[in-house]
Amino acid sequence: MNEDLFDGKWKQIRSQTTAWWGLITEYDLAKIDKVPAKLDKYVTMLRVKYGYTSEQAKKEIGKHVSEYEAEQNSAVKPA
């Protein structure tokens, strides 16, 4: 996931973060809100709290965002 895509989806990502990663708190998210390079800070938090590599963290973010969007799209489509 690149920085522009991440920034564009920040509100969605932020709203789902505690469900995706229970070790990231509202306090952590408030710190991310304050920095211009949100993706870098988010990746760093995943590295520290979960031991991911940078590449692993970016993959996990992309996976969670894709799954979330698929769920949203299937919930919105009329039967």
Q: Which pLDDT belongs to residue 63? A: 95
Reported as a single tens digit per residue, the pLDDT across 31-60 is 999 999 999 999 999 999 999 999 999 999
Q: What is the pLDDT of residue 35?
A: 96
Q: What is the mean pLDDT of residues 15-19?
A: 96
Q: Tokens 């031991």 map to which residue?
A: 51
Percent of the chain with pLDDT over 90: 84
Other Cβ atoms closer than 10 A to 47: 14
Model pLDDT, residue 27: 97
Q: What is the pLDDT of residue 36?
A: 94
Q: Apex CA 56: angle with CA 22 and CA 17, to 5°?
A: 25
3-state secondary structure of 65: helix
Average confidence (pLDDT) over 52-71:
95
How much helix, strand and coil, in percent to the nearest 5, is found in the chain?
Answer: 75, 0, 25
pTM (two decimals):
0.87
Domains in the chain, ordered, with CATH? 3-76 (1.10.1470.10)
